[in-house]
Amino acid sequence: MNRIISRWRGALLPLAVVAYGVGLWFVPVPDGLTRESWHLFTIFSATIFAVILSVLPLLTAALLAGALAVLTDTVDPAKAFSGFANQSVLLVVSAFLVAQAVVKCGLGRRIALGVVAIFGKSTLGLAYSIFLTDALIAPGFPSNTARGGVLFPVILSLAQGANSHPGDEVGRRLGGFLMFCGMASLSVSSALWLTATSANPIGVSLVAEQGLQVTFGSWLLVASVPALCAIGLLPLFLYRLFPPGTTDTPDAPRIARAALHEMGSLSRDERITALVFGVMICAWIFAGSFNFSLAGIAFAGLGLLLAFNVLTLEDIYLQGSTLATFLWLAVLFAMSGQLNEMGFMGYVGERLAMALEGLPWLAAYVVLLLLYVAMHYLFVSQSAQVLALLGVFLDVGVKAGVPVGLMGFALLFASSYFSTLTPQGGSQNVIFVTSGYLTQGELYRLGLLTVIFCTALFLVIGTPWVLWMT
Amino acid sequence: MNRIISRWRGALLPLAVVAYGVGLWFVPVPDGLTRESWHLFTIFSATIFAVILSVLPLLTAALLAGALAVLTDTVDPAKAFSGFANQSVLLVVSAFLVAQAVVKCGLGRRIALGVVAIFGKSTLGLAYSIFLTDALIAPGFPSNTARGGVLFPVILSLAQGANSHPGDEVGRRLGGFLMFCGMASLSVSSALWLTATSANPIGVSLVAEQGLQVTFGSWLLVASVPALCAIGLLPLFLYRLFPPGTTDTPDAPRIARAALHEMGSLSRDERITALVFGVMICAWIFAGSFNFSLAGIAFAGLGLLLAFNVLTLEDIYLQGSTLATFLWLAVLFAMSGQLNEMGFMGYVGERLAMALEGLPWLAAYVVLLLLYVAMHYLFVSQSAQVLALLGVFLDVGVKAGVPVGLMGFALLFASSYFSTLTPQGGSQNVIFVTSGYLTQGELYRLGLLTVIFCTALFLVIGTPWVLWMT
């Protein structure tokens, strides 16, 4: 039976994807779309299907998609390859390399042991400590990718400290649970503060065009109840959804304290790493005021860590998987941006809006929110979807009678919490995804259920609160 | 004494580089240059010095340079990072990855054995078979290091098969001769094809900025006569320069045939690789006519090799060194381009041109070419020198009245054949150098004489041919 299924997958699924792609390619182009934008949508959606159906690995699919887009003249090469120079993409790549230093020098282990010494009596305690740390540092990190770069090495050290490794079928579950907690935490901490992710200020300026003024304080006030509920409930929810195997670790705090004692005082490399990271984080926090490039800061940090031999060239030579990430992320990022630039996203938004005419405002509100969230399957970047759809969806909602404050904030918050929907749904995910603790199937399943949970929570608890506050 | 020298290098050299950089930064900006272009030159030249003086590895220096350029507002981040999206850089990166397939599946070894089976009866015949094999497989190997990785094991087994070993003062000469043939062959086969080494596409995009358009086909046409002459004459030249002792190797063809027999017929992976490379090379050849993107073709090839499991994700994960190359190459590439765009190259070009004023253009051409080749004593990487100097030298040549096609192609070809000048003059040399068949003294002597021979040949035969063809 398994063999039949596997043969079926092996032969029929690739054929189905190819048939889908070829079929869609030659379908008459819908009115209002250019031939190029239709062909790009064909390539992009076939790529996503090929990956979702495990016909091709992400890297292979992305390379072929990029090559197809360029060689069929669908996208100009300069634009198709522009993702490689995108600063968010470069920030992901350099953050990944920089994070190795925290692991290598032992600083990550030390911080993790410190967290375990306080919260480590249970796996759930560890999960809460991740969510709490993230929520507290979030307002100072205008990039959730950068925040992921800080959290990831700590989580990796926590997992390795609990003897959880990607290769081990049972043991990996604890690491997988904590990795997904990191992704989920970033998706809700970003909804709590206006300055917690780069997509938020973009969204704020878009809703301002519809007359909704949002400040740092008003955002925090309106977000507080639903976002804090999510932070309080998500660890429990994920704990049930993906039981980490190990639940109680009563000895962990004592062992952690003993291990900390054994580590002694900070080593040279730890001190340098702490200093470099301290300066990097300060620079990231004040990047907006001083007009610093986030990726430039990461490059400086990486260069310094290499110059002081905390990281060596050999450490970089082991990072071939980062190269693979760089390749697929850059290709898909550029493609998604092009879909938007070519007007495809706006076109879809307009059609959907027309279909909603005549619905009561509450129903229109729910439908629009669900659609907005579901459409994140198509986007590799949160900012790209905010730019492409938030304005259209808010406009449609207001025209359907939804209060502008409710529709606006609901869409703004959704733009944060929908990021876990796919492994590539937010660039910060990638850091956790490539750790190898979770399979693609698990990532898609956990992502979908987490987003459904958050959407329900923000609808049920968030809606009355937002209506009361605005 | 050695210890004093080593301490001196350890402390004084870094200080000297920093002092140079800080000093130059605050020197009054020369008339005719903007502050930004002067600061960028300061960063760039300090980077090159740091690398030449072994103060910092190339990657570290490039990362710090990129970060400095961006964080000091010397270069706009979008421009500083533009090298990552540059198609020549992407071609280098994808080509490195693609070349692994030829090595891994055994196709490279099979081709080499086939040539030896036909030409291998004498030592000179073996030398010719090395040059011929190399020239034939070169267009599919945009990394001459990877090509060296294919040639080296064949050369080593040829030497050992003829009972030549590094320890034996007389017997080692045959192996030494063949090893140097490998190095010399790579240095001229790289001049024959645009896609034969990573420095070539970089050079091509640099000369394009001066208005010289070079395609795969036009490169081959212009290079053909001088490069084929070099391939025809170098084995004879090296045979006289370093007589291998043994002249006849009657058993070599038999050994090669036996090895071929043992390999059996083409494996599935070899057949797929041959097909993919065949299509890629054809596509590269006709890229100009069909407006195909060279990098797009390489992406397609890489994607197909991955899709058919000739290469696996694990093979990519081992390519961390390619990521390191990607990082430093992209940063230095963009910086070199910016130096040009900001008018610095033109400024230096004008000063140098003034110094050459009064010289007939033919003399200026010869002086510039000799200077360019001699300066390779300072560079560890061919790409680094191309990035640092090719643009300036071309500009000066053009200002001195040298036809742009002649100056451009002469510098492009020189960037290949100057690689044997020092044992570290090209990373591909290292493979042969470490075999131990040749002493450091022999390597420097053979290297200098080989480069003089090639320079003379490309000047005497190449100059009229290039002038006729461009």
Complex confidence, ipTM: 0.82
Q: Is the pLDDT of residue B92 over 60?
A: yes
Cβ distance of B77 and A295 shorter than 8 Å: yes
A57, A303, A330 ranked by CB distance to B63: nearest? A303
Q: Is the pLDDT of residue A1 over 60?
A: no
Cβ distance of B307 and A64 shorter than 8 Å: yes
Chain A with chain B: Cβ pairs closer than 8 A = 150
Distance from C-alpha of A313 to C-alpha of B41, rounded to nearest angstrom: 26
Is the CB of residue B319 less than 8 Å away from at least one CB of chain A? yes
Q: Is the pLDDT of residue B402 over 60?
A: yes
Closest chain B residue by Cα to residue A77: B293
Task: For residue A146, name the pLDDT band (cuts at 50, 70, 90).
Answer: confident
E-assigned strands of A358-416? none
User: What's the mean pLDDT in A58-85?
Assistant: 94
Q: What percent of chain B clears pLDDT 70, i.e. is strictly above it?
A: 97
The predicted structure's pLDDT at residue B361? 93
Is the CB of residue A211 less than 8 Å away from at least one CB of chain B? no
Which of residues 79 through 118 in chain B touch A, CB cutoff 8 A? 80-87, 90, 93
H or E element at residue A183: helix A172-192
Chain A closest-CA separation from residue B324 CA (Å): 7
Task: B158-167: list long-range contacts, CB under 8 Å, 24+ apart.
Answer: B158/B116, B158/B120, B158/B126, B158/B249, B158/B252, B159/B437, B161/B249, B161/B251, B161/B252, B161/B255, B162/B123, B162/B246, B162/B249, B162/B251, B162/B252, B164/B246, B164/B437, B166/B435, B166/B436, B166/B437
Closest chain B residue by Cα to residue A334: B85
User: What's the mean pLDDT in B239-258?
Assistant: 86
Chain A closest-CA separation from residue B187 CA (Å): 26
Q: What percent of chain B clears pLDDT 90, i.e. is strictly above it?
A: 50
User: What's the mean pLDDT in B419-431?
Assistant: 83
The predicted structure's pLDDT at residue B114? 83
Closest chain A residue by Cα to residue B81: A85
Is the CB of residue B302 less than 8 Å away from at least one CB of chain A? yes
Q: Is the pLDDT of residue B285 over 80?
A: no
Is the CB of residue B279 less than 8 Å away from at least one CB of chain A? no
Q: Which residue has the higher pLDDT, B369 or A152?
A: B369
Q: Is the pLDDT of residue A464 over 90?
A: yes
Phi, psi of A122 (to 5 degrees): -140, 160
Q: Is the pLDDT of residue B9 over 70?
A: no
The predicted structure's pLDDT at residue B212? 93
The predicted structure's pLDDT at residue A9? 62
Cβ distance of A323 and B320 shorter than 8 Å: yes
Chain B closest-CA separation from residue A226 CA (Å): 37
Q: What percent of chain A clears pLDDT 70, i.e. is strictly above it?
A: 96
For residue B148, the SS3 value is: helix
Distance from C-alpha of B321 to C-alpha of B220, rounded to nearest angstrom: 30
Q: Is the pLDDT of residue B256 over 80?
A: yes
Closest chain A residue by Cα to residue B63: A303
Closest chain B residue by Cα to residue A83: B85
Chain B closest-CA separation from residue A328 CA (Å): 11
Query: Taking a C-beta distance cutoff of 8 angstroms, is the pair A115, A90 a contact?
Result: no
Cβ distance of A66 and B299 shorter than 8 Å: yes
Q: What's the pLDDT tens digit per position in B150-181?
A: 788 778 877 877 778 888 888 899 999 999 99
B77, B316, B323 ranked by CB distance to A316: nearest? B323
Is the CB of residue B289 less than 8 Å away from at least one CB of chain A? no
- Contact residues, chain B, for A92 at CB < 8 Å: none
Q: Among the listed ranges A380-384, B208-212, B323-327, which one has the minimum average pLDDT value?
A: A380-384
A60, A73, A320 ranked by CB distance to B318: nearest? A320
A67, A80, A313 ranked by CB distance to B59: nearest? A313
Q: Cα angle vertex A189, ends A185, A190, to 5°?
A: 115
Cβ distance of B64 and A304 shorter than 8 Å: yes
Which has the closest alpha carbon to B453: B417, B428, B427? B417
Q: Is the pLDDT of residue A258 over 70?
A: yes
Q: Is the pLDDT of residue A282 over 60?
A: yes
- Contact residues, chain B, for A13 at CB < 8 Å: none
Phi-psi region of B436 (alpha: psi -120 to 50; beta: other; left: phi over 0): left
Q: Is the pLDDT of residue B405 over 60?
A: yes
Closest chain A residue by Cα to residue B311: A60
- Contact residues, chain B, for A56 at CB < 8 Å: 307
- Contact residues, chain A, for B82 at CB < 8 Å: 85
Q: Among the listed ranges A407-421, B105-119, B324-338, which one has the minimum average pLDDT value?
A: B105-119
What amino acid occupies position B164?
Answer: S
The predicted structure's pLDDT at residue A118? 85
Is the CB of residue A64 less than 8 Å away from at least one CB of chain B? yes
- Contact residues, chain A, for B323 at CB < 8 Å: 316, 319-320, 322-323, 326
The predicted structure's pLDDT at residue A392? 81
User: What's the mean pLDDT in B105-115?
Assistant: 81
Closest chain B residue by Cα to residue A71: B292
Q: What's the pLDDT tens digit per position in A184-217?
A: 999 999 999 887 887 887 788 788 878 898 888 8
Is the CB of residue B335 less than 8 Å away from at least one CB of chain A? no
Q: Is the pLDDT of residue B7 over 70?
A: no
Interface test with A, best of B15, B17, B60, B329 (most A CBs within 10 A): B60
- Contact residues, chain B, for A71 at CB < 8 Å: 292-293, 296-297, 300
- Contact residues, chain A, for B73 at CB < 8 Å: 291
Query: Taking a C-beta distance cutoff of 8 angstroms, is the pair B468, B458 a contact?
Result: no
User: What's the mean pLDDT in B24-38?
Assistant: 92
Q: Among the listed ranges A51-65, A313-327, B338-352, B413-427, which one has the minimum average pLDDT value?
A: B338-352
Distance from C-alpha of A370 to C-alpha of A454, rounded to nearest angstrom: 11
User: A162 to each of A165, A261, B405, how far by Cα in Å?
Assistant: 9, 18, 64
The predicted structure's pLDDT at residue B2? 61
The predicted structure's pLDDT at residue B357? 81
Q: What is the pLDDT of chain B when averaged over all its residues? A: 88
Q: Is the pLDDT of residue B378 over 90?
A: no
Max avg pLDDT among A41-50, A73-82, B370-379: A73-82
Chain A closest-CA separation from residue B325 CA (Å): 10
Q: Is the pLDDT of residue A256 over 90?
A: no
- Contact residues, chain A, for B304 at CB < 8 Å: 64
Distance from C-alpha of A246 to C-alpha of A162, rounded to nearest angstrom: 9
Chain A closest-CA separation from residue B134 CA (Å): 27
Is the CB of residue A13 less than 8 Å away from at least one CB of chain B? no
A57, A82, A302 ranked by CB distance to B313: nearest? A57
Distance from C-alpha of A253 to C-alpha of B393, rounded to nearest angstrom: 65
Q: Is the pLDDT of residue A125 over 80?
A: yes
Chain B closest-CA separation from residue A301 CA (Å): 8
Cβ distance of A321 and B316 shorter than 8 Å: yes
Distance from C-alpha of B434 to C-alpha of A226, rounded to nearest angstrom: 65
Interface test with A, best of B71, B311, B329 (most A CBs within 10 A): B71
Question: Model pTM?
Answer: 0.81
Q: Is the pLDDT of residue A83 over 80?
A: yes
Query: Taking a C-beta distance cutoff of 8 angstroms, is the pair B441, B160 a contact?
Result: no
Task: For residue A141, name the pLDDT band (cuts at 50, 70, 90).
Answer: low
Task: For residue B342, name the pLDDT band (cuts at 50, 70, 90).
Answer: confident
Is the CB of residue A279 less than 8 Å away from at least one CB of chain B? no
